[in-house]
Structure 1
Amino acid sequence: MELNPAQLESFAAAGYLVVGPLLPPERVERLRAALDELWNAWSAELGVSRAAYCRVVSQWTNLWESHPAFAEQLRDPVCTAMAANLIGCRRVRVFHDHVISKPPGQSSAVPWHQDYPYWPLQAPRAVSLWLALDDATPESGCMHFMPGAHREGECPAVDFLNDSKDWGPRRLAVRAVPVPAGWGIFHHCLSWHTTPANTSERPRRAYISIYMDADCTYDPAHSQWHPMNARVTVPPGGVFNDDNFPIVGEAP
């Protein structure tokens, strides 16, 4: 599966692109099972039930280092080639991956934001692949985008606890983007996006891989607090170190 010119144009215009199905049902189930294994192990380490653990924690990072199923998915040649094409680079490396879970009746909305203001990258040459592990519907908390807003440049980082962006009359342009399990949404690191709470009776789990141009350089001044800063071993202005930020794929 390769992206065609119309898809590339759509991504450039809107800042996001729905692609699917990217994974067959058996691979989706393998990732779900891998997540179950990790949740069981991590909750047991803390001496709490898995249900209690997942009520408190909603995001887990660098799963590619914790389970081979996520390491394999992160390096999927189809997905990494698409990421390289959308960025417009030859090779991509991982910034990090993460799972975000919205359990039924126990989640909250994620406010409107761009990702890039939180990342210690010198330039916005990165995309996220938001891969649905469950059917993501408007009721369960699917992604919402403001099409084209990525072309308006970077804005200051949003305070996730207090800020609430008001689009005014532009709110009519907001698009809910429901996708079935196994489908993906690539989105630009400057895209404006949000997700509502999960008001359904089903889980809403998503595996997100963040790919950047392999030649991206480290800029801690752009985001001094990001947890990935602790994993960087190169000086400011250097290309990210391969051990914690490996090159995982390339354009065809």
Structure 2
Amino acid sequence: MEATIEKQTLLNELARPYELNSETIAFYQKNGYVKLKHVLSQEVLSYYGDIITELVFRLNTLVKPMEERTTYERAFLQIMNLWQEDEQAKEFVFSKRLAKIAADLMEVQGVRLYHDQALYKEPSGGITPWHADQFYWPLTSPNTVTVWIPLQETPMEMGPLAFAEGSQSVEISRDIEISDESEKILADTLQKQNFPLNDTPFALGEVSYHAGWTFHRAGPNVSDRPRKVMTMIYMDKDQTVMQPRNSFQVADHAKWLGSVPVGSKPQDTLNPLLFSY
């Protein structure tokens, strides 16, 4: 009985609204990202973090030595759509608390899940090069946002996420995949255009939300512990699927959107509605 009560407490937290003030929403709208403290408790992060970690190491297929990996492969172990693999992982991914924040930041009436992904940067894991996520997504509207949830305190040595403030609103280098080339080109371009950089540690329970076209990166993990992160990508519930513009978007259209017709809305089966007013 006690275990049931404790689990219900965790579920209640994942459903409880996290209220945003107008200044926070305005900051996100202007800068394309926001960091929020005390979003999730240590208890929630510990309980679901253990479940997510077990899934990551069970489902991971990247076993090459670090020195044999590409820059992208050195950045992190990447496991997608844990919600389809485990009912308890689904509880976390479907959190109304987290989804409501996404809707409120984008100022939309509701959000669907595009997909989730665990991103585990191993000890000695390399940089995550500068990139914008929406390069990969065949979605018409820029109303997309990723919540980045460290499952532990994340000091600078572990490679926390960093953001180029305001970069979501400028159409620069939107045709480049994540790579050594994107790191060099975007680092130069963002510096020349004087975009402020937010590169700070994450406290336990702190999460970030960044827009699909916001440029971001992460440093290497030079600690002796894995940097464990869970993410969910949300889109406006009224998002429309567009004609893919590159091979990555062709693949995403099939895998994450079920190849629904161009011009149609994502469907509930693969892209469930997680919050709506």
Normalization by structure 1: what TM-score? 0.88
**Structure 2 residue 239 is the aligned partner of structure 1 residue 216:** yes
Q: Where in structure 1 do 4 or more consecutive aligned residues deviate above 4 Å?
A: 54-57, 169-172
Aligned counterpart for 1:68 among listed residues 78, 82, 87: 87
Report the Cα distance in structure 2 between the residues aligned to 1:101 and 1:173, rounded to whole angstroms: 27
Report the Cα distance in structure 2 between the residues aligned to 1:146 and 1:57, rounded to whole angstroms: 21
Report the Cα distance in structure 2 between the residues aligned to 1:5 and 1:79, rounded to whole angstroms: 17
Q: Is the 1:28–1:133 contact (alpha carbons within 8 Å) kept by the matching residues of 2? A: yes
Runs of 5+ unmatched residues, structure 1: 49-53
- Secondary structure of the residue aligned to 2:231 is strand
- 1:177 counterpart residue number: 200
RMSD: 2.4
Given the superposition, is the C-alpha separation of residues 56 and 82 from structure 1 closer, same or farther in structure 2, using an over 3 Å criterion? closer
Aligned counterpart for 1:230 among listed residues 254, 258, 264: 254
More helix by share: 2
- 1:248 counterpart residue number: 274
**Structure 2 residue 42 is the aligned partner of structure 1 residue 36:** no
What are the equivalent positions in structure 2 for 1:124-163 lying under 5 Å apart?
124-153=142-171, 155-163=173-181
- 2:230 counterpart residue number: 207
Report the Cα distance in structure 2 between the residues aligned to 1:77 and 1:168, rounded to whole angstroms: 37
Q: Is the 2:153–2:203 contact (alpha carbons within 8 Å) kept by the matching residues of 1? A: yes
Report the Cα distance in structure 2 between the residues aligned to 1:122 and 1:128, rounded to whole angstroms: 16
Which residue identity lines up with residue 200 of structure 1 in the other structure? Answer: S
Normalization by structure 2: what TM-score? 0.80
Q: For residue 188 of structure 1, report the CA deviation from its aligned partner.
A: 0.9
Q: Is the 1:58–1:101 contact (alpha carbons within 8 Å) kept by the matching residues of 2? A: yes
Which residue identity lines up with residue 213 of structure 2 in the other structure? Answer: L
Which residue identity lines up with residue 26 of structure 1 in the other structure? Answer: E
Q: State the Cα deviation string for residues 1-30 of structure 1 (Å, max 9, x = none).
A: 211001011111211111121111111112
Report the Cα distance in structure 2 between the residues aligned to 1:161 and 1:55, rounded to whole angstroms: 11
User: Once the two structures are aligned, what percentage of the paired residues are identical?
Assistant: 26
Given the superposition, is the C-alpha separation of residues 41 and 159 from structure 1 closer, same or farther in structure 2, using an over 3 Å criterion? closer
Report the Cα distance in structure 1 between the residues aligned to 2:207 and 2:126, rounded to whole angstroms: 22
Given the superposition, is the C-alpha separation of residues 181 and 86 from structure 1 closer, same or farther in structure 2, using an over 3 Å criterion? same
Q: For residue 169 of structure 1, report the CA deviation from its aligned partner.
A: 4.8
Q: Is the 1:120–1:221 contact (alpha carbons within 8 Å) kept by the matching residues of 2? A: yes
Runs of 5+ unmatched residues, structure 2: 1-17, 64-72
Q: State the Cα deviation string for residues 14-71 of structure 1 (Å, max 9, x = none).
A: 111111211111111122211233245336xx7x8xxxxx989710000111122321
Report the Cα distance in structure 1 between the residues aligned to 2:247 and 2:39, rounded to whole angstroms: 34
Given the superposition, is the C-alpha separation of residues 236 and 9 from structure 1 closer, same or farther in structure 2, using an over 3 Å criterion? same
Report the Cα distance in structure 2 between the residues aligned to 1:56 and 1:2, rounded to whole angstroms: 33
